[in-house]
Amino acid sequence: MKKSYLTLLLLPGLVFLAAFMVIPILLTVGSTFYHEGRFTVEGYLYFFKDPYFLKILWTTLRVSLVTTAICMLLGFPTAYFISQQSPRKKALLLALAIFPLLTSSVVRSFSWTIILGKKGLLNNMLLSVGLIQEPLNILYTPTAMMIGLIHLFLPLIIITLVGVMENIDTDLVKAAESLGANRFAAFCRVVIPLSVPGLIIGGILVFVGSLTAYTTPALLGGKQQVISTFLYQNAITLNDWYLASVVATIMMVITFVIIMIMNMLANKLNPKG
Amino acid sequence: MRQKNRGLGLFTFFIYLFLLGPLVIIAFASFEPGSAMKFPPQGFSLKWYQNIFEVSMFKTSFITSILVSLAGNLLALLLGLPAAYALSRFQFRGKAALNAIFISPVLIPGIVLGFTMLKYVIITYNLPVYSALLIGHTVIMLPFIIRVIASSLANFDFAVEEASLSLGAGRLKTFFTVVLPNIKSGIIAAVLIAFLESFNNVDISVFMTGPGISTFPIQMLLYVENNFDPTIAAISVLLMLFTAVLMFIIERLMGLSYFTKR
Amino acid sequence: MAMLTLENIAVSYDQQYILKDFNLSVEKGSLISLLGPSGCGKTTTLRLIAGFLDAKEGKFALNGKDYTRVPVNKRNFGFVFQSYALFPHLSVYDNVAFGLRLRKVNKADVDRRVRRMLDIVNLSGFEQRFPKELSGGQRQRVAIARALVIEPDLLLFDEPLSNLDANLRVNMRVEIRRIQQELGITTVYVSHDQEECFSISDQVAVMNKGIIEQLDKPSTIFKYPKTEFVARFIGFNNFITFDSRQENGNVIELQTKGRTFRALHGEGRGEQKGLKGAIRPDDLKLGTQEELGVDFNLLPGKVKVSTYLGRSYQYVIETELGEFTVNKEMEQPYISGQEVLVHFPIEKLIVVE
């Protein structure tokens, strides 16, 4: 009786996801190996032999890696500061970090076009104080893309880390201090190791997010393509569905490999075992 | 020690300036009277707000977005609420795997999801754009519905459900008279969070536009490709206000701690 | 007349049996406790009776009616939970009225019965409060009222007092016993606290690993445990392993390592699990033969550890039959290493399995 009851509750959702997500994905992956009536890996050879495609992949990975590293570096101290605040202040700071996350990515990326444009705020400021003579070309470059992505994902890593740091028993820091550690040493030896799993999870979210983001590169990257815009271009503009499927498969493989590696790392580095 | 905290405070201030500054700047730029966006604005005008309503595609795509998000939400709730309940309430073999499947739409790249759906669902079955959007948005809303409701059910003592059963109520009756009233705010929060995810979605919708039909964010993207006037800034301000209101309601309903959990 | 019977019940989870060939019968109007450590199957038994669990095999009947396959919501049993499990979204009044409204009792009767029940549990005036506005003891009384108001055929308690503090626990168990006797309702009560079980029960079933080790009146269990497990559970900390048992009139003669002990009570035969004598630390005597004034059931030993307990001293005595713990009131304590005789009073040494 219980089994049929469970099935009744879970089956509708599962069938829906199977029909509209799992099966299409499997068919897409399958189609890259079975093309024009035979088994083949041609699509992948084609992709990985073309320097232009490889450059797109490389740019995407580079931008995502730098974005992730910067988000970790900036997010960690910020999250630590937030987690040390009184509950009221903490709630306010968290709310201010969550708000951008819930705001449309179109809005958030678009806001940078006003700042980074040739006649934008940044160039105006730099010109007026005489730091530069010619306006900088930032907008529509990988740098602009990176700034947009950091802006997009920094809040994510901050709130993830605050969630982890909140659960670190403050007595642990006091215990470390009582054993002779100064505040900085206690931070290094207690807070940092206990935050590592959160840092890794946050890192995964940022990296995967940057790797697969579409809106921000489309708005800020200009002619510089990344793998997601490349996929879209092949599918919609060029109608090369075979190549698009290959790119989609590559994206999924990279995503899963990263999630798996990071998960393994998180488990290994988790001091709680 | 104090010095260090002050340094950290200053650091945090700059981080927040970076996070929120662009949103403030876009708000100021929306009042620019000229036809190119500038900061600081050269005057004060509401004409770009007016312009939103004069571009008919904004109006139709807004309605499309709202309808798709609402209908998709309802569908996702019908599929997700029973699943969230089963996953929270019962222990059974294969539960972790099922959990992973239900959460996977947020882990799979949106652009891949959109493309595979286009290729093997929409084209294969020759679905109209509206149904395509509905299906796609339901898929991406499902994990949010399930996660938020499950986190609400995590605080629910299932002995209460057994109490109701022992007093004579059947399973279904118990669910509606005892379980539902106690996770009501979690469900509303789930619906609102899923709504925002759906309404703001670009990655999937971008594959599902048709002649004269697109969603609001897609329409915004199309507009900025050809125009650099402050209309988008004005829209952004309205969207941010809308987001702030929904976020406030979510905070009232279940606090914001959900967002810090991974 | 047995009112509640469990026959050859088996319950399994993940292919592991929690209960197997389980039998129990309870008389009408009495309160029976299931007592045992966690994992002994007492809660499983209770949840099976309530209908939250299905029996894999066996039969459960009440008043001659087979309930084995009756779903929980058709059983009309009252269940009181460890966590109280009050409906958080309903007032005290609506909590208690919940079961009556499901039974389509008319409004006036609902009102009358709810108010009467709240009166019985001393909660008149609390009708409009919500569960979170009540103390733990008040919540538990609402839970009891809610279970009782439907006039259940059977009342079930799952560790109802374990979330309360010590003083309240004593008051509440008196209360539970009073209400149960007033209404004469058959009750099954689960707890791991022996004092709690003994104080309120007509009968206690001591359980271990899915088996009832002993089912008796509380005073009988307290004085005459049948098995080593039961003896240990209720504070018989000293055991002697015997090789054989012989009856000599009223006296039971027990042999071990060339020594003979005599006892008067105990049903241990040593057929399955071995034969042991059990005795409480308070019942053992220490002294010289003259001080003790007996010439049997004596064992020489040496004081190993002595601990001051306030009212008495506790000694661990090392003997050739193992170590024994003895409580003794005295002015001048024995010192470690001192030779003493341990006396096992004949009426206090209980033979167990």
pLDDT tens per residue, chain B (262 residues)?
445 578 899 999 999 999 999 999 999 989 988 887 777 788 888 889 999 998 889 999 999 999 999 999 999 999 999 999 999 998 888 888 999 899 999 889 999 999 999 999 988 888 999 999 999 999 999 999 999 999 999 999 999 999 999 999 999 999 999 999 999 999 999 999 999 999 999 999 999 987 788 999 999 999 988 888 899 999 999 999 999 999 999 999 988 888 887 6
User: Across the interface, which of C73, C77, C147 has its CB nearest the CB of B169?
Assistant: C73
CATH of residue B160's domain is 1.10.3720.10
A223-243 pLDDT, tens digit per residue, is: 889 999 999 999 998 999 999
* Chain A neighbors of B90, CB-CB under 8 A: 2, 6
Residue A273 pLDDT more than 50?
no
Predicted complex ipTM: 0.91
* Residue among C27, C120, B242, B138 nearest A12 (CA): B138
A16 and B142: CB-CB below 8 Å?
A: yes
Interval C39-92: pLDDT, tens: 888 999 999 999 998 888 888 989 888 998 898 999 999 999 999 999 999 999
**Three-class DSSP category at C69:** coil
Q: How many residues does chain B have?
A: 262
Q: pTM for the complete prediction?
A: 0.87
R_g of chain A, CA atoms, integer Å: 23
Whole-angstrom Cα distance, residue C173 to residue A55?
77
Instruction: Check if A13 contacts B (Cβ < 8 Å).
Output: yes
Pairwise pLDDT comparison (C158 vs B227), residue with the higher score: C158
Which subunits sit against C, judged by 3+ Cβ pairs under 8 A? B
Give the residue-averaged pLDDT of A265-272: 70
Q: Which residues of B touch A20 (CB under 8 A)?
A: 117, 121, 135-136, 138-139
Residues 6+ positions from A171 with CB-CB distance below 8 Å:
none
CB B114, CB A25: distance < 8 Å: no
C225 Rama class: left (phi>0) / alpha (psi -120 to 50) / beta: beta
Candidates A20, A74, A228; nearest CB to B117: A20
CATH at C160: 3.40.50.300
Superfamily of structural domain A48-101+150-269: MetI-like (1.10.3720.10)
Q: With CB atoms and an 8 Å threshold, state whether C50 touches B182.
A: no
Domain match, C195 and C268 both? no
Q: Is residue B97 part of a domain?
A: yes
B166–C74 CB contact, under 8 Å:
no
How far apart, in Å, are the Cα atoms of C348 and each of B94, C217, C233, C263, C280? 55, 18, 17, 8, 8
- Collapsing DSSP to helix, strand or coil, C184 comes out as coil
pLDDT score, position C346: 85
Q: pLDDT value at position C272?
A: 63
Residues C186 and C40 in one domain: yes
Residue B213, in any domain of the structure: yes
Do the Cβ atoms of B262 and A205 come within 8 Å? yes
How many Å apart are CA B198 and CA B140, to the nearest integer?
Answer: 7
Nearest by CB to B39, from A121, A212, A218: name it. Answer: A121
Range of the domain at B83: 55-260
- pLDDT above 90 covers a percentage of chain A that reads 58
Of all residues in chain C, the percent with pLDDT exceeding 90 is 32
What is the tens place of the pLDDT at every residue in A113-143?
889 988 888 888 888 888 888 888 888 999 9
Over residues A18-35, the pLDDT tens digits come to 999 999 999 999 999 988
Q: Which of B202, B204, B207, B247 to mutate to test the interface with A (most CBs of A within 10 A)?
A: B202
Using DSSP, state whether C261 is helix, strand or coil. strand
In 3D, which of A91, B62, A71, A2 has the Cα closest to residue C52? A2
The pLDDT value recorded for residue B199 is 96
Q: B160 contacts in C (CB within 8 Å)?
A: 85-88
pLDDT at A1: 44
Q: Is C276 in the same domain as C207?
A: no
Contact at CB, C85 and B181, closer than 8 angstroms:
no
Interface of A with B in 178-207 (CB under 8 A): 183-184, 198, 201-202, 205
A258 at interface of B, judged by CB pairs closer than 8 A: no
- C292 lies within 8 A of chain B by CB: no
What is the radius of gyration, based on Cα positions, of chain B?
Answer: 22
Whole-angstrom distance, CA of residue A165 vs CA of residue A16: 37
Q: What is the pLDDT of residues C259-308, one digit of tens each?
A: 888 888 877 666 666 788 899 988 888 888 777 878 788 888 888 888 88
Are C209 and C267 within one domain? no
How far apart are the CA of B148 and the nearest CA of chain C, in angstroms?
A: 20
C79 & C129 share domain: yes
CB contact under 8 A, C85 and B170: no
Coil, strand, or helix at residue A2? helix
Inform me whether the pLDDT recorded for C96 exceeds 80: yes
Q: For residue B249, tell me if it sits in a domain.
A: yes
Q: Are residues C201 and C302 in the same domain?
A: no
- Contact yes or no for B26/A107 (Cβ under 8 A): yes
- Distance between alpha carbon C72 and the CA centroid of its chain, in Å? 25
Looking at residue A270, its pLDDT comes to: 66
Residue B102 lies in a domain: yes
Per-residue pLDDT tens digits for A162-212: 999 988 887 888 888 888 778 778 878 888 888 888 898 899 889 999 999
Write the pLDDT tens digit of every residue in C1-44: 568 889 888 888 777 788 888 888 888 889 999 999 888 889 99
B41: in domain: no
How many C-beta neighbours within 10 Å does residue B126 have?
Answer: 6
Residue A271: band (very low, low, confident or very high) from pLDDT cuts 50, 70, 90: low
* DSSP secondary structure code for residue B87 in this structure: H
CA distance to partner chain C, nearest, from residue B161 (Å): 8
Q: Give me the helix-helix angle, B110-117 and B129-153, nearest 10°.
A: 140
Which strands form C251-256's sheet, in the order they lie side by side? C244-248, C251-256, C259-263
Q: Report the CATH number at residue C302.
A: 2.40.50.140
Residues C182 and C64 in one domain: yes
Q: Which residues of B touch A13 (CB under 8 A)?
A: 79-80, 82-83, 102, 142, 146
- Mark whether C157 and C192 lie in a shared domain: yes
Q: Give C296-353 as a DSSP string.
A: SSEEEEEEEEEEE-SSSEEEEEEETTEEEEEEE--SS---TT-EEEEE--TTT-EEE-
**Number of domains forming the structure of chain B:** 1
CB within 8 Å: B239 and A23: no
CB contact under 8 A, B247 and A93: no
Cis before B109 (ω within 30) = no
Task: Give me the number of domains chain C comprises.
Answer: 2
CA distance C145 to chain B (A): 12
Q: Residue B162: its chain C contacts at CB < 8 A? A: 50, 52, 72, 79, 81, 85
Closest CB to C85: pick one of B157, B173, B181: B157
Tell me the shortest Cα–Cα distance from A269 to chain B, in angstroms: 17
**A40 pLDDT more than 80:** yes
Q: List the domain range (segments joined by +) for residue C254.
A: 228-352
> Which residues, in sequence order, are CB contacts of C234 under 8 Å at separation 6+?
C194, C206, C221, C222, C225
- Residue whose C-alpha is closest to residue C51's, from C15, C11, C21, C89: C11
Q: What is the mean pLDDT of chain A?
A: 89
Look over chain C and give the mean of its residue pLDDT values, rounded to a whole number.
Answer: 88
A98: confidence class by pLDDT, cuts 50, 70, 90: very high
Last residue of a domain, one of C193, C223, C253: C223
User: C33 with C119, same domain?
Assistant: yes
Interface check for B116 against chain A (CB to CB < 8 A): the answer is yes
A21 and B206 within 8 Å at the Cβ level: the answer is no
For residue B33, tell me if it sits in a domain.
Answer: no
For chain A, what's the residue count? Answer: 273
